[in-house]
Amino acid sequence: MTKTIENFLRYVKIDTQSSEESTTTPSTMKQHDLAGLLVSELEAMGATEITYDKEHCYVYATVPASAGYENAPVLGFIAHMDTSPAVTDTNVKPRIVEHYDGKDIVLNAAENIVMKTADFPELLNYVGKDLIVTDGTTLLGADDKAGVAEIMTMAEDLLNHPEKKHGKIRIGFTPDEEVGAGADHFDVKLFGADYAYTVDGGALGELEYENFNAAGAKLHVYGRSVHPGSAKGKMKNAILIAQEFQKLLPVEQNPMYTEGYEGFFHLDAISGNVEEVTADYIIRDHNRQLFEQKKELFLSCADFLNRKYGEGTAIVDMKDSYYNMREIMEQHMHLIDNAKAAMEELGIEPKVSPIRGGTDGARLSFMGLPCPNLCTGGENYHGRYEYACVQSMEKTTGLLIAIAAKYADR
């Protein structure tokens, strides 16, 4: 078993699930369990300039430049330690399906949990490969412990092989990426990199420097409860008004019907009664102009309901979350060119595509650290059918080393 896989299997057994409801930083203290382990391992392998921000749960470290390359640009690699709140991360039981045969994978016979090729046809891309899966009762945590494992293995390899050329390498591990707070307390100045990559993508070859512009919107609908026996002309049913609001949004701009560069309005959660309803939405679009138009439409729907049912019926709290990093990355396309060249040299087919989501790299790019996103080798993130390909993860580790070498000569 290679060190990349050994690291990964160790890390996924540590529960680091973040929380959307928490008001603390990090959102869950158990993220420190992995952070502390990584600090110990970095110390043991001989990394330098190790900083553990115990207040906010960030880990920073350095792999010193190899001899003769001290003046090369400082390159960073970043991954997040937390896992998604969507499915539990407690008691992860990873196992390796060796030489996958292209058939459905029984994750848990007792509970009849089966990963079917009919549901996940991309499984057929991995026939003959080794896949790491769960027992179907938890997510796996490849998002983003695969990235953590690959970066740690890269660091140890470079420290053990000073003959490999590279400039100074900075490593960063963040908490709370899955709840949108991964870059909140990231110290760009302390990190000190000229450029960086987040290692937080999916299938081997993925290379991303575009992401959604994103906003979160909370819709509050205020109704009036009256006994239904005498409700005529008096009741305002907040539940029905919230449904009416949803129907005002373009039906085709629902994430169930969109792909590629198409944006959407997504109703993520809703709760309430006749008196009051709260609905949580996310608004996404790669195009900044269309993004602004979507926000304006959302607000205009609330205005319409206020004119129809009375002022104060529909109140919207809206806040931008992050922006498309493409406008930053277009000034630093060497990051994409070098990554593509390194992939091709390793026999990896580059797959440049827009992220239909966000990444720490987007916010970091706007904080002064240009930061596209690299693959990790995982698939089906945020669910019990998540898996990672052993060979893809091993190749990704090699990719990080190859990219580091590219920047040694800049």
CA dist 99 and 105 (Å) reads 12
Closest CA to 77 of 16, 141, 165, 166: 166
* Paired tokens of 197: 């990559």
Tell me the CA distances in angstroms from 273 to 222, 223, 239, 302, one per residue in order. Answer: 10, 9, 6, 18
Q: Phi and psi for 225 in degrees, rounded to 5?
A: -90, 130
Q: Rounded to the nearest 10 degrees, what angle do helices 3-11 and 142-160 cross at?
A: 140
Residue 184 annotated in ligand binding: no
In this structure, the dihedral spanned by the alpha carbons of residues 166, 170, 173 and 179, taken in order and rounded to 10 degrees, is -100
Residue 349 annotated in ligand binding: no
Question: Residues 6 or more apart from 282 whose CB is under 8 A from it?
Answer: 214, 215, 216, 217, 265, 266, 268, 321
Residue 337 annotated in ligand binding: no
The catalytic position among 82, 150, 157, 394 is 82
Residue 70 annotated in ligand binding: no
- Other beta carbons less than 10 A from residue 23's beta carbon: 6
* Residue 260, Ramachandran bin (φ over 0: left; ψ between -120 and 50: alpha; else beta): left
* Paired tokens of 117: 């090729």
Parallel/antiparallel/unpaired status of strands 213-222 and 276-285: antiparallel
E strands, 83-184, are: 95-97, 105-108, 113-115, 131-133, 169-174
For residue 187, indicate whether it is catalytic. no
For residue 177, indicate whether it is catalytic. yes
Residue 80 annotated in ligand binding: yes
Closest CA to 253 of 224, 293, 222, 220: 293
Give the DSSP per-residue string, 195-250: EEEEE---STTEEE----EEEEEEEEEE-B---GGG-TTT-B-HHHHHHHHHHHS-
How far is residue 212 CA from its own chain's centroid? Answer: 12
By three-state DSSP, how is residue 98 classified?
coil
The catalytic position among 15, 157, 177, 206 is 177
How far is residue 382 CA from its own chain's centroid? Answer: 10
Annotation: binding site: 80, 143, 178, 200, 382
Q: Tell me the catalytic residues.
A: 82, 177
- Known binding residues for Zn(2+) are 80, 143, 178, 200, 382
